[in-house]
Amino acid sequence: MSFVLDALSRIVPLALNTAGRQRLAILIYHRVVPAPDELRPGEPTVDEFDWQMRLLRDHFNPLSLAEGVQRLREGSLPPRAVCVTFDDGYADNERYAMTVLRRYGVPATVFVSTGFLNGGRMFNDTVIETVRTLDEPTLDLRDLELGVHSLATTQQRLAAIAEVLTAVRYMEPQERDARVAAIAALSRVPHEHLMMTDEQVRNLARNQVTVGAHTVNHPMLASVAGEDARREISDGKRYLENLLQQDVDYFAYPNGKPSTDYRLEHRDMVQALGFRAAVSTHWGVGCGDSDPYQLPRFTPWDRRPMRFALRLLLSYRRVDPLVSGGL
Residue 43 belongs to a domain: yes
Residue 323 belongs to a domain: no
Instruction: For residues 67 and 114, state if they share a domain.
Output: yes
> Using 50, 70 and 90 to split pLDDT, how confident is the model at 7?
low
Q: How many helices (H) and strands (E) does the chain have?
A: 12, 9
- Listed as own residue / partner, the contacts of 95-103 with beta carbons closer than 8 Å and 24 or more positions apart are 95/200, 96/32, 96/33, 96/34, 96/46, 96/49, 97/29, 97/32, 97/49, 98/203, 98/204, 98/207, 98/209, 100/32, 100/46, 100/49, 100/50, 100/53, 101/53, 101/209, 102/207, 102/208, 103/50, 103/53
**Residue ranges of the alpha helices (H) in the chain?**
2-16, 46-59, 65-74, 91-92, 98-104, 123-133, 154-168, 173-184, 198-206, 226-244, 264-272, 305-315
Q: Quick: pLDDT tens for 52-69.
A: 999 999 999 999 999 999
Q: Quick: pLDDT tens for 124-136.
A: 999 999 999 998 8
Decide which of 216 and 301 is more confident: 216
Instruction: For residues 10 and 36, state if they share a domain.
Output: yes
Q: Quick: pLDDT tens for 256-295.
A: 999 999 999 999 999 999 999 999 999 999 998 899 999 9
Closest by CA to 199, choosing from 88, 66, 95, is 95
Range of the domain at 167: 123-184
Q: Quick: pLDDT tens for 70-116.
A: 999 999 999 999 999 999 999 999 999 999 999 999 999 999 999 99
How far, in Å, CA of 29 to CA of 39, rounded? 16
How far, in Å, CA of 187 to CA of 42, rounded? 24
Instruction: For residues 23 and 166, state if they share a domain.
Output: no
Asked if the model's pLDDT at residue 248 lies above 80, the reply is: yes
Instruction: For residues 167 and 204, state if they share a domain.
Output: no
What is the CATH number for 234? 3.20.20.370
Q: Quick: pLDDT tens for 143-202.
A: 999 999 999 999 999 999 999 999 998 888 889 989 999 999 988 766 778 999 999 999
CA distances from 7 to 2, 17, 80 (A): 9, 16, 13
Instruction: For residues 109 and 8, state if they share a domain.
Output: yes
Domain boundary among 184, 210, 227: 184
Residue type at position 144: L
Q: What is the pLDDT of residue 5?
A: 63
Q: What is the pLDDT of residue 36?
A: 93
Asked if the model's pLDDT at residue 323 lies above 70, the reply is: no
Domain boundary among 165, 184, 203: 184
Average pLDDT on 38-61 reads: 96
Instruction: For residues 85 and 144, state if they share a domain.
Output: no
Total domains in the chain come to 2
Q: What is the pLDDT of residue 317?
A: 85
Instruction: For residues 177 and 240, state if they share a domain.
Output: no
Using CB atoms within 10 A of its CB, is residue 321 exposed (0-12), middle (13-18) or buried (19+)? middle
Instruction: For residues 93 and 222, state if they share a domain.
Output: yes
pTM for the predicted model, two decimal places: 0.93
Q: What is the pLDDT of residue 325?
A: 42
Instruction: For residues 304 and 219, state if they share a domain.
Output: yes
Decide which of 9 and 181 is more confident: 181
Instruction: For residues 267 and 162, state if they share a domain.
Output: no
Instruction: For residues 256 and 140, state if they share a domain.
Output: no
